[in-house]
Amino acid sequence: TEEFIDTDCRYRPEDILTIRFVDGQGIPQNVVETREGKLVSVLPRQSTALVSDCLGEDCLQKFLFLNLEWKNPKDAENAIINTKRFLDHEEHPSLVEGLRQQRAQQNGSKGVTLNQCFQSFSRPERLDDHNMWYCSTCKEHVRALKTMKLWRLPNILVVHLKRFEYKHGFRRDKLDTFVSFPLAGLNMDPHRAHWKSASEGDKAFVNNSIPAEYDLFAVVNHYGRMGFGHYTAFAMQWDETGISKEWNLFDDSHVRPVQPSDVQTSAAYILFYRRRHFN
């Protein structure tokens, strides 16, 4: 290739260059598997899918990096790297859009969706050196892969949004990021663990015959900061047979009707959902 110049013509580029997929922490990601005795890449030759989706749950981050390692043999004095060609690249539109969304979320200007919160909650996490897990098989503390899964969906789903975080010692700052959550038709199917017991009977953790759709019936709001503030609530009546369509605002001793469009605010703290079909 033009990036690698060997005037003696004794080496191939693959003898000099090693390419690895790594995550943001520099941990290598395996992109090959054995099929019929041959090593085959798990990545499709042409696809618009994310690389992290192809690698499965072992991939910890949304973005992966190509780690290029050049190792010139000691006797390859005439093997050099064409620096200009090596640094030439084109940014794919998906990368540009992904970085734009990431910056928007960090700045809090666009907010996040409830589905994105669930995806972040269930994303696999590699434990660091200070939180290693003891493996009963190898009898050593290892940096295990931790994953949070929803094994069984309840009839009443309570979602507690993280609105406070430690930043400076004992001080906790308020997080006012706007979270967009559906008032009706929250589909929890993508966020639950699709696993059943061996018997596949009544003791199964997951019952796929019951739809995983939820409707919102109450929201607790918090205004102010840690240690002081004010709570209000949006709510509507419901029972086992159905749910009303009238929202009301509860503010201390005052109660007044509100429009559904008033329910979604950046003050939302705790969300209460009712399953459309009870288990």
Quick: pLDDT tens for 207-242: 556 788 999 999 999 988 776 789 999 999 877 666
Question: 142 versus 202: which is more confidently predicted?
Answer: 142
pLDDT above 70: residue 133: yes
pLDDT above 70: residue 198: no
CA distance 6 to 1: 10
Nearest Cα to 214, choosing from 260, 259, 159, 261?
159
Note the pTM of the prediction, 2 decimals: 0.58
Model pLDDT for residues 153-167, shown as the tens digit of each residue = 888 999 999 888 876
Tokens representing 23 are 């995550």
Instruction: Compute the C-alpha angle 51/89/7, nearest 5°.
Output: 110
Average pLDDT over residues 139-147: 85
The pLDDT score that the predictor gives to residue 193 is 75
Model pLDDT for residues 79-132, shown as the tens digit of each residue = 666 666 666 667 777 667 666 666 666 555 568 899 888 888 888 888 888 888
Least confident residue range of 24-28, 47-51, 195-199: 195-199
Confidence band (pLDDT; 50, 70, 90) for 250?
very high
Q: How far is CA 80 from CA 1, 3, 4, 88, 203, in A?
A: 12, 9, 6, 16, 64
CA distance 111 to 94: 20
Question: 16 versus 120: which is more confidently predicted?
Answer: 120
